[in-house]
Amino acid sequence: MVSGRMPDGTRVRVGDLALPEAVRILAGTGLWLGTGAFVVHLRTDSAARAGAVVAAHADHRVSRAPAIHDFPLTIARTSGRFGLPARRPGVQARIDGEPLFEPFPEAYAFAMFESTLNWCIARYVHRHLTFHAGAVEREGRAVILTGPSGSGKSTLCAALSQGGWRLLSDELVLLDLSRKPGVPGIPEIIANPRPISLKNEAIDRIAARNPQARFSARFENTVKGTIAFVHPRPEAVRRAGETVAPALVVAPTYRPGADLAVEEIAKAAGFMMMVENAVNYFTTGRPGFEALAALSDRSRFYRLTYGDIDQAVAAITELHATAGGGGAA
C-alpha cells in the first residue's frame, strides 16, 4: 500500500477554510485531509457532517488539490435502489464507493468517521506494526498505554496530553518497520494524533480536570454508552508523522475507588502482552517480531491499577522519569 502524502508546501489548515467553502468542496471533489500520519480523500454531502469534521480537525493540514492518499472515504446518506427510499435511512461510510458497515443515524456521522478511519488503518496498513493502544511523549521518550476497551487508557491519554505531554495516538499505536531486518536499534512510534475517544463518566472527569480541553458533541445511546472526542492540541497535530522511541509500556486498569497499585511486568510477559494487543503482528512476519523484540528489550513494562486520575498521572510521570531500558527479565 502506498503511503499517503500531502502536496509539498501544504500549509493550509482545515480551520483556515470558511465553513461554507468547506461544505461546498466536501460535497463536490472533496478535500485531501491530513489525519495524523495518514491522508484521507474525504467527501460528504451534509453541512452538519462537514461542520463536525472542520471543528474536530481545525489544526490538521488540508489540500484542495489532489494528493496521494491512503483512504478514499465518503460519508453519505443511504439510498435505495432505483431511486426508492433506503431500507435503513441514515449515513454510511464507503471506501472506493463500497459500503463498509450498516447505516448509522445522521447524528452519529462524526463518530462513524473516526471509527471508520481506525478500521481502515487496522485493516489495510501493514507497513507498520500496529497495536490497540495509546501513546504520549515527553522529553523525547514515549509511554505506550495498552489494554482492552474500558481499561482507562484513553482517559489517561487525555489527561496526560492535556497536561504537557504530547499525544502520539489514542486508539492505534504505529511502530515503524522501515528499519531493515537484522539492523540493531529500537523501532520508533510514528505520531498519529487524532481526536481521543472518551466514554461515559470519563467525559465529565476530563472536562472537570482539564477545562481547556476542546470536545466534540456527545454521542449518546451508542453500544458503548455516551461517547465524546477530545481534540488533540495544535502542537501534537503539527508534529504528526514524527517518530519517537518508546521507553515505557503501561497496562492500566481503572477501578472506581481503587487504591493506586503499580507492578512491574517481566519482559517475556510484556512481549506476549503486546502480541495480544497487536492488530497485525502475524501479518508483519519477521520485521514485526524483530521490532517487538527490540521494544521489549529496551522498554520497561508495568501494570497500573487506579481509581484517581491525578494519582495515575503522577505514577506514570515518575515511572517515565526513571525509565531507560533494563527492567525485569
Which regions of the chain does DSSP assign to beta strands (E)?
A: 31-35, 38-44, 62-63, 71-77, 91-95, 98-99, 128-138, 141-146, 166-169, 172-176, 189-190, 196-199, 219-222, 225-230, 243-254, 261-265, 300-306
Segment 245-254, tens digit of pLDDT? 999 999 999 9
Task: Identify the weakest region by mean pLDDT among 26-35, 130-139, 260-269, 304-313.
Answer: 26-35
Residue 56: pLDDT over 90: no
The average pLDDT across 144-171 equals 95
pLDDT for position 9: 58
* Beta partners for residue 20, in sequence order: none
Q: What's the pLDDT score for residue 222?
A: 87
Average pLDDT over residues 149-166: 95
Question: What is the pLDDT at residue 262?
Answer: 98
How far is the CA of 158 from the CAs of 11, 215, 220, 275, in angstroms?
Answer: 27, 11, 20, 24
The three-state DSSP-derived secondary structure of 146-172 is ECCCCCCHHHHHHHHHCCCCEEEECCE
CATH of domain 129-322: 3.40.50
User: At residue 14, does pLDDT exceed 70?
Assistant: yes
Question: Are residues 35 and 69 in contact, defined by beta-carbon separation less than 8 angstroms?
Answer: no
Q: For residues 129 and 281, is the Cβ–Cβ distance under 8 A?
A: yes
Q: Which residues pair with 232 in a beta bridge?
A: none
Percentage, residues of the chain above pLDDT 70: 90
Read off the pLDDT band of 88 (50, 70, 90).
low
| Phi, psi for residue 129 in degrees, rounded to 5 | -85, 120
Which one, of 138, 139, 173, lies nearest residue 153 by Cα? 173
Helical (H) or strand (E) element with 206: helix 201-209
Distances (CA, A) of 131 to 151, 173, 319, 323: 15, 5, 21, 21
Supply the mean pLDDT for the chain. 89
Q: State phi, psi for 77 to the nearest 5 degrees.
A: -65, 145
Q: What pLDDT score does 90 carry?
A: 81
Sketch the domain layout of the chain as residue ranges: 14-120, 129-322
Q: What is the pLDDT of residues 97-132, one digit of tens each?
A: 888 888 888 888 889 899 999 999 999 999 999 999
Residues whose CB is less than 8 angstroms from the CB of residue 148 and which lie 6 or more positions away in sequence, other chains included: 132
For the chain, give the longest Cα–Cα distance: 65
Stated pTM of the model? 0.91
**pLDDT single digits (tens) 207-230:** 999 999 999 999 998 888 999 999
pLDDT exceeds 50 at position 318 = yes
pLDDT band at 82 (very low <50, low <70, confident <90, very high): very low
CB–CB of 34/60 below 8 Å? Answer: yes
Cell, residue 77: 446518506
pLDDT of residue 187: 87
